[in-house]
């Protein structure tokens, strides 16, 4: 039973890490999955303090991602509406790209969607092509940076879990 739970946890953590590329809250899923694993095993392998540490690390990476995306987008002149457009465009792009090729299409669709979402909203607010392109580029750079932070976060959480289980 114990080996089955460990295999399930490792599989769940891996799938959750990959889900970051689709715009899903993969790091949150890792923390939740670890909590349920710890709960199921009576907190023998993963203590409550370790799970709380995982949650704290996950929150730290989420905050870093949010700050990076916001600061980068603002640096390039993207408005709040443009950031909202980038978020919606990124989600729609990830889903539509996933229809072409599941992983690569979702990643590329998300990146293109972020750019187009910010660009379209900024163009409707201020019809200036230079401003729209700059805002779209800022949202794109912010998304790449944010995705990098998410991936680093999921790797960090996975390594913490594996090291704790070994």
130 Cβ neighbours under 8 A, 6+ residues apart: none
Euclidean distance between CA atoms 82 and 61, whole angstroms: 23
Is pLDDT at 2 greater than 80 in this prediction? no
Task: Compute CA distances 83 → 26, 30, 87, 113, 146, whole Å.
Answer: 21, 26, 6, 12, 13
Task: Count the Cβ atoms, other than its own, within 10 Å of residue 82.
Answer: 30
Q: Are 27 and 154 spatial neighbours (Cβ–Cβ below 8 Å)?
A: yes
pTM: 0.78
143 Cβ neighbours under 8 A, 6+ residues apart: 69, 86, 90, 110, 111, 114
Q: Are 115 and 97 spatial neighbours (Cβ–Cβ below 8 Å)?
A: no
Domain that holds residue 17: 2-165
81 Cβ neighbours under 8 A, 6+ residues apart: 121, 122, 125
What total of structural domains would you count in the chain?
1
Q: 6 pLDDT band (50/70/90 cuts)?
A: confident
Looking at per-residue confidence, does 56 or 165 come out higher? Answer: 56
Rounded mean pLDDT of 150-155? 92
Residue 3 CA, chain-centre distance (Å), reads 29
pLDDT confidence of residue 1: 58
pLDDT confidence of residue 9: 83
């Amino acid at each position: 039973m114990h080996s089955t739970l460990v295999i399930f946890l490792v599989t769940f953590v891996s799938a959750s890490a990959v889900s970051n590329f689709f715009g899903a809250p993969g790091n949150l899923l890792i923390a939740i999955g670890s909590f349920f694993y710890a709960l199921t095993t009576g907190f023998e392998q993963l203590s409550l303090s370790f799970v709380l540490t995982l949650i704290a690390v996950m929150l730290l990476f989420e905050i870093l991602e949010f700050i990076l995306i916001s600061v980068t987008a603002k640096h390039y002149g993207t408005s709040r509406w443009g950031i909202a457009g980038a978020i919606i465009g990124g989600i729609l792009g990830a889903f539509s790209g996933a229809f072409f090729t599941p992983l690569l299409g979702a990643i590329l669709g998300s990146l293109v969607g972020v750019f187009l979402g910010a660009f379209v909203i900024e163009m409707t607010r201020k019809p200036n092509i230079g401003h729209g392109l700059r805002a779209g580029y800022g949202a794109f750079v912010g998304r790449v940076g944010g995705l990098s932070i998410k991936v680093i976060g999921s790797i960090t959480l996975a390594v913490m879990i594996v090291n704790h289980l070994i």
